[in-house]
Structures are given as structure tokens and as C-alpha cells.
């Protein structure tokens, strides 16, 4: 489990592979000077619910990984996360899409960019 630390006081755990994809999307937008909300569902162990932070170029962010190797990035997952980040709702955590299923679906955006039910969504835990 890696850690996303926002403004020094919000610390949340994400699996390293997810964190790498979030970092790529967040940093691409921040480099362009874009601000946006970032929302994740909190794990039931910390009370459930969800947390939203407002990402902007002037806030401190740290991406701390547990593992030493860089995870392989999925272009499909990056596209889906970026699509969401560019929407009015902002970036939110979604599970990794199955690349094969996405290529075979005629309406792939409906499948890739949908929010998943609470019991299937990747959750974050605070530390």
C-alpha cells in the first residue's frame, strides 16, 4: 500500500498500482495549471463515506510507494481516469478496466467511466 499525502495533513492509503495511475493523471493536470476535485471512498474501517480534496498547483502532494518497482501503467485506465478528472465531477477512483472487454464493447465509455457500487469499488484507508 502506498500513501497519498495532501497538504501535509490528509494521508490516505492506495494500492501502489492505483496510486501510480492517480499520480500520472494528477500531475499531468497540475503541470497544465488545472484545478479539479479528487474524490475517493473511505474504507469502512475508518468510518466509510467519502473524501474530496481540491487539487490545484499550489498545494503540497506526496505520492509515497510501498514497493520499489514502478508499476506498469494501463493506457485504458489512464484514459478513463483522465476522462473523469476532466468532467465536472472531477477525478474519482474507479477499478482498472479490462482492456480486452473495452476493445470489444461498442459503447465502451459507458462501461469504463461508470462509478461502481460501494461493495466493488477500491477503497482508501487513512493512516
User: How are strands ordered across the β-sheet holding 91-92?
Assistant: 50-55, 36-41, 91-92
pLDDT per position in the chain (127 positions), as tens?
Answer: 999 999 999 999 999 999 999 999 999 999 999 999 999 999 888 888 999 999 999 999 999 999 888 889 999 999 999 999 999 999 999 999 986 555 555 455 544 455 544 444 555 666 5
Q: Which residues have CB under 8 Å from 29's CB, separation 6+?
A: 36, 55, 85
Domain boundaries, the chain: 2-126
Q: pTM higher than 0.85, yes or no?
A: no
Amino acid at each position: 500500500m502506498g500513501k497519498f499525502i495532501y497538504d501535509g495533513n490528509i494521508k490516505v492509503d492506495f494500492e501502489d498500482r492505483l496510486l501510480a495511475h492517480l499520480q500520472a493523471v494528477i500531475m499531468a493536470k497540475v503541470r497544465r495549471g488545472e484545478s479539479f476535485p479528487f474524490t475517493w471512498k473511505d474504507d469502512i474501517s475508518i468510518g466509510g463515506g467519502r473524501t474530496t480534496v481540491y487539487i490545484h498547483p499550489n498545494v503540497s502532494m506526496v505520492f509515497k510507494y510501498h514497493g520499489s518497482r514502478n508499476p506498469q501503467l494501463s493506457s485504458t485506465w489512464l484514459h478513463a481516469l483522465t476522462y473523469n478528472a476532466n468532467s465536472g465531477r472531477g477525478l474519482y477512483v474507479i477499478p482498472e478496466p479490462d482492456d480486452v472487454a473495452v476493445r470489444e464493447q461498442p459503447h465502451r465509455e459507458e462501461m469504463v467511466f461508470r462509478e461502481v457500487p460501494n461493495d466493488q469499488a477500491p477503497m482508501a484507508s487513512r493512516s
